[in-house]
Chains A and B, each alone.
Chain A
Amino acid sequence: MTTVLFYIFALLVACSAIGVAVSRNIVRTAVCLFFTLTGVAGLYFLLNAEFLAAVQLVVYAGGTLILIVFGVMLTNRLPSAGWDVKPWEKTVALGIGAVLASALVASILSLPPRAQPDESGAYPVLELGAALLGDYLLPFELVSVVLLVVMIGAAYLAKGRRRNREAQP
C-alpha cells in the first residue's frame, strides 16, 4: 500500500515539476507548482513526518503559492491571465467539490469517539521547541535579525517616492 502511494506521489511530483518547467503560462506554472508541493507533502506523510508535511502544506502550498497567484493577478494585465469559466469546468469543479466534501464527512464520521493520547513518547512539536531554544538558540535568534534587516530593506524599496510631497509643504 505504502509503496503504491509512494509511486503515485512521486509520479505526481515528477510530472507536475516538468509542467512547472515547461509551461509558458504563469498561472499554469503556479497550478503545476501546487501539485508538486502537495505531492512532496504526501511523501512526507508517508515518511511519518506529519509535522513537516503539515508545514509543507500550510507554508508552501497554502501561503507561498497564494502569494504567487496574487502577485500575478495584481501585476499581470495580460488577457491570458484572466479566467473565463466554461460550463464544463463548473461541472468538473462541482464534482470535485462534492467528492471532497463527502470524503471529509466520511472521515469525520469514521473517527473514534475520543482521540487517544499518544503514548509513544514522540512529541515532534515539543522536540522542535526544545531544539530551537536549546542547541539551535543562536541561529534562531539570528534569524530574527535577518528578518528585521530584510524587512527594513524591503520597506525601503517599496516606499513610494515622497520627494514630491515633501517638496511642497
Chain B
Amino acid sequence: MSSTLAIIGSPFIPGWDQLGAFLPELVLVAAIVGVLITPFFTERRNFACAVVALVGLVGAFVSVFAVAGEDGAYFRGLLVSDSLAVLWKGLLLLFTAGIVLMWIGTMAEAMREGDGPEFFTLLLGATLGMSLMASTTNLLMIFLVVELASLPSYVLAGFRKTHRLGAEASLKYVLFGAATSSIMVYGLSLAYGLYGTLDLAKIAEQMAVPGAQHVLLAVVLIGLIAGIGFKISAVPFHFWCPDVFEGAHVDVAAFLSVASKGAALVLLLRMVMLIGSAAGFEASAVTVSLAWTLGILGAVTATWGNLAAFAQTNIKRLLAYSSIAHAGYMVCALSLLVARRNEAPAADAAQAVILYLAVYLFMNLGAFTIAALVWRQTGSEQIADFSGLGRRAPIAAAVMTACLFSLVGLPPLAGFAAKLVLMKVLFDNGGWWTVLVFVIGINTVLSLYYYLRIVKVMYLQDRGEDVLGGPILPRVIGVACAAMLVIMLIGFGSLDRLTRDAGRIHDTNSSVAAVK
C-alpha cells in the first residue's frame, strides 16, 4: 500500500495563501459563471450581462490590490506574482471595464437581444487569459494562456455573423493564429526536449551556461517570437490586424488594440528579462542575437505601421496601423532587456514599457470611444464622415483631438512623457540603440501627418451635416480618458514611483523550493 502511495505522490490542494495570489482570476471565472446564469433571471439579457461583467471586472480590479506586494511563486511554481504582473492586471482590468462601459454607451443597441451572454463570456475569457499571460514563466502555462486569450478573440472578431467583412476577418485571424501558435508550440516542445524542464527560469539558467547553447535554441526563440509576435502584431506577423479591426465591432477592435498586444508585450518582457538576468545581463550569443532581433523587429514594425497608416480612409484601419506602430516602439525598448552589463537599463526599459502601456490604454480607449460614437450616430467608419465634428459634436471632437495629439506624443499630454521616457532609456545606452531613438523620432514625425489629417477633417472641413446627438455616456468616457492624459502628465512623477518595481521580476528559481 505504501508503495502505491509513493507512486501517487502528493495530490495538491491549494491553501488560502495559494488561492490568494489567484484571486483576480478567480473573480473573473466567477464573473463568467455569473454571466452564463444571468439570462435565466431577466428579460433584458444583454444589459444584465454587461452589468454582471462590469461588476466582475471591478471586483477583480479591487482584488488585484489584495495581491499586490505578495511576491512569490504559487501553484508549485506555475504562477508568479510580482509587481509587473500586478501592474499589468490592474491596467488590463481597468481597460476592460472601460470597454464594457463603452459597449453600454454605444454598441448595446446594435447587438441582437440574447447575444450578450456569449459576448461577455468570450470577453471575460479572453481577459482571463491576458491577465494570466503576465504571471507565468512555465512553458505549458504560456501556451495555454496564449490560447485562452486567442480563441475567444477569434470569435469576437467575427461576432457580427451577418457581416461579410467580419467573417472574413475572423477566418484570417484563426488561420494566422493557428499557424503562429503551432510554430510556437513547436519551439516550446524543442525547448522542453533540450533542457528537460518546462520552467523558463531554469531553461534560461541553462541557456546561460557557456557552450551549452544548442543550434536548436535558435528555432526555440524564433518559435516564441512568432507566437508572441502574432499577438503583438509585429511585422511580419501583423497581416491580421487591420482586417480584424475593420471587420470587428469598434469595441472588440479597441479591446484587441490594447489588451491583446499589452498582454503579449508583458509576457515577452518577462521572458526576455529572465533570459537576460540568468545571463547576468552579459553579452552572449543568445542575448546579443535576441537583442538585435527585438531591436530590428521593433524598428521595422514601427516604420511599417506608420507608412501603411498613410493610405487609410477607414478610422479603424488607421487606428490598427497606429497600434502596430506603437507596439513597435515598445518592442524597441524590449531590446534593452538583454545584452547590457548590468541590471539598471533593463529595469528602466521594463518600467518605460509599463508606463507607455498605461498611457497608451487611455489614448486608445478615448479615440475608439469617439469612433464608436460616430459609428453609432452615422453608421460610418470613414474618416471623411468626421467632417465638421468640431461644430457637430464639440466635446467628442476635442476628446478625439486630445487622444490623437497624445498618440503623436505632443505635450501637454501624457503620450509625450511616455514617449520621452522610452526614447531616453534607449538613448542613455548609446551604441546601436541610438539608431532606434532616431527611428522612433522619424516615425513620430511621419505619424504627425495621418493623425493630424483626422483633426483637419474634424475642424477645417464641414459638409453642413446635422449636429451629432447620441447618448452622454461615451462622451463621459472620452472626457475621462482625455482628462487622464493630462492628469498622468502632471502626476508623472508619482506614476514613475508607482511603477519603479516593474523591472524587478520574480525569479521562480529562487523561491519555488521554499513555497513547496
Which residues of A approach B to under 8 Å, CB–CB? Answer: 121, 123, 126-127, 129-131, 133-139, 142-143, 145-146, 148-150, 152-157, 161, 163
Contact = CB atoms under 8 A, between A and B. Distances in A.
Given A136-B78, A145-B32, A146-B147, A130 B152 contact: no
Which of B3, B76, B79 has the largest number of chain A CB atoms within 10 A? B76
B7 A157 contact: no
B122 A153 contact: yes
Contact of A145 (B11, B78, B125, B140): B125
Contact of A149 (B12, B14, B121, B159): B121
B75 interface: yes
Contacts, number: 92
Contacts of A153: 118, 122, 151-152, 154-155
A133 B9 CA distance: 10
A130 B10 CA distance: 7
A138 B79 contact: yes
B115 A156 contact: yes
A134 B144 contact: no
B148 interface: yes
Given A130-B8, A134-B11, A137-B12, A156 B155 contact: yes
Nearest to B5: A130
A3 to B, nearest CB: 22
Query: What band does the interface of chain B fall in when counting residues whose beta carbon is under 8 Å from A?
Result: 35 or more
A149 B14 CA distance: 24
B151 A150 contact: yes
A17 B275 CA distance: 36
A152 B140 contact: no
Interface in B128-169: 128-129, 132, 138, 140-141, 144-145, 147-148, 151-152, 154-155, 158-159, 161-162
Contacts of A127: 7, 9
Contacts of A123: 7
B213 to A, nearest CB: 27
30 contacts: A121-B7, A126-B7, A126-B8, A127-B7, A130-B11, A134-B9, A135-B78, A136-B140, A137-B12, A138-B79, A139-B138, A142-B148, A143-B144, A145-B29, A146-B129, A146-B144, A146-B148, A149-B121, A149-B126, A149-B151, A149-B152, A152-B118, A152-B122, A153-B152, A153-B155, A155-B118, A156-B115, A156-B118, A157-B158, A161-B161
A137 B8 contact: no
A153 to B, nearest CB: 4
Given A149-B122, A153-B155, A138 B32 contact: no
Which of A121, A150, A156 has the largest number of chain B CB atoms within 10 A? A156
A134 to B, nearest CB: 5
B81 to A, nearest CB: 13
A142 B145 contact: yes
B112 interface: yes
Contact of A133 (B12, B128, B155, B161): B12
A149 B32 contact: yes
B122 A138 contact: no
A35 to B, nearest CB: 21
Contacts of B36: 152
A139 B140 contact: yes
Contact of A142 (B122, B144, B152, B154): B144
Contacts of A152: 36, 118, 121-122
Contacts of A137: 12, 14, 75-76
A156 B125 CA distance: 15
B141 A149 contact: no
A94 B382 CA distance: 66
A140 B447 CA distance: 45
A145 B10 CA distance: 24
Nearest to B36: A152
Given A142-B145, A150-B152, A157-B158, A130 B115 contact: no
Nearest to B75: A138
A132 to B, nearest CB: 9
A49 to B, nearest CB: 14
A139 B78 contact: yes
A135 to B, nearest CB: 5
A145 B155 CA distance: 16
A69 B59 CA distance: 47
B161 A157 contact: yes
Contacts of B121: 149, 152
Contacts of A138: 22, 75, 78-79, 141
A129 B129 CA distance: 25
B76 A135 contact: yes
Contacts of A148: 32, 125
B25 to A, nearest CB: 9
Contacts of B118: 152-153, 155-156
Contacts of B115: 156
A92 to B, nearest CB: 36
